[in-house]
Amino acid sequence: MSGKAPGTPASKIENRTPASTPGGGSKAKEEKIVVTVRLRPLNRKEQLAKDQVAWECVDDQTIAYKPSPQERSAQPASFIFDKVFGPTCITESVYEDGVKNIALSALMGINATIFAYGQTSSGKTYTMRGITEKAVQDIYNHIRNTPERDFTIRMSGLEIYNENVRDLLNSESGRSLKLLDDPEKGTVVEKLVEETASDDTHLRQLISVCEAQRQVGETALNDTSSRSHQIIRLTIQSTLHENSDCARSFVASLNFVDLAGSERASQTHADGTRLREGCHINLSLMTLTTVIRKLRSEHVCFLSISVHSLHS
Ligand SMILES: Nc1ncnc2c1ncn2[C@@H]1O[C@H](COP(=O)(O)OP(=O)(O)OP(=O)(O)O)[C@@H](O)[C@H]1O
């Protein structure tokens, strides 16, 4: 979401009830896409620069845009989402209230994807790190509390950097991986390394390896700006020990997608490599918008993260 009047009219943002209990509730099946917004607080640099707050949380589903006095042509506007989290909200609340049910639905065999989308420096990586950690905790709590089932968790990580797909668990290969169409599995990434996590500590280590390998660079808006889209995928398989009326075997994917942020070169002051990266990022985000609109088959949480400031 950009710092000027957003382009998506409120009429196009549907007001939906958030999904219910993981996998089990009927709403989880009805609701395919849940959109929540988190506004981050102004950081120190923005406070020192006396940046203005551009967005206001009207209630827990509505945010309002307040144009600055300099933006004479922009009109105030409000937008409704499944859930809005204000700048004082901690990541745990965002997870518990907006994401947990969706993340845990993968334990019941429902594919789920949690996206963080927003402009550069709006807090996507900050939020996704916290959410991924909370989801790992909950997944392993569920496994400990479900002794009647055997679980296997496999994990892979990739980034899309300047339109090349890189394996974050095998970055030394330096190769750009190919996308293939598999008649049964759909789109697959050829030769992507997938590790089986032995426990939660091992899974956290694998996730850290991916984060350490990701392309990060400094821009005028973010000292540690992600320059690629990152996808961490957990494939969760579970089997019941004994015969029962319940479904005996589940397998589902849980994707954590931390997108690179949309950016304006005039604000990031990008040139050379950073400018080229920015062009790829913006173009791929536009394409993704089309994909999201057409996506109907998965249970998706779309976390839109917003910068809570206007640059003065
Ligand atoms: N909710 C928050 N509370 C406090 N600080 C935050 C919050 N969200 C983000 N930050 C801080 O804001 C800065 C930018 O956050 P982050 O790098 O996560 O943004 P981003 O959207 O991932 O940016 P980019 O698209 O450039 O990668 C970081 O210093 C981060 O620690």
Ligand 1 centroid, distance to 246 Cα (angstroms): 43
119, pLDDT greater than 70: yes
**Extents of the domains making up the chain:** 10-306
Ligand 1 centroid, distance to 192 Cα (angstroms): 29
230 lines ligand 1 (CB under 6 A): no
Ligand 1, residue 126: give the atom nearest the CA: 18
4, pLDDT greater than 60: no
> Are 28 and 299 in contact, with CB atoms under 8 Å apart?
yes
41 lines ligand 1 (CB under 6 A): yes
225 lines ligand 1 (CB under 6 A): yes
Confirm or deny that 120 is annotated as ligand binding: yes
151, pLDDT greater than 70: yes
Residues 6+ apart with CB under 8 A from 270: 219, 220, 263, 277, 278
Least confident of 36-45, 69-78, 175-184, 220-229: 69-78
ipTM over 0.95: yes
For a pocket test of ligand 1, which of 88, 117, 125, 132 has the largest count of ligand atoms closer than 8 A to its C-beta? 125
Q: Please give the class, per CATH, of domain 10-306.
A: alpha beta
118 lines ligand 1 (CB under 6 A): yes
Ligand 1 centroid, distance to 287 Cα (angstroms): 24
End-to-end CA distance of the chain: 18
> Are 35 and 84 in contact, with CB atoms under 8 Å apart?
no
pLDDT (tens digit per residue) in 7-32: 333 333 433 333 333 333 444 445 57
- Classified as helix, coil or strand, 204 is helix
- Of 80, 40, 35, 8, which Cα lies nearest the Cα of 304? 35
Confirm or deny that 122 is annotated as ligand binding: yes
For a pocket test of ligand 1, which of 94, 120, 126 has the largest count of ligand atoms closer than 8 A to its C-beta? 126
Give pTM, 2 decimals: 0.84
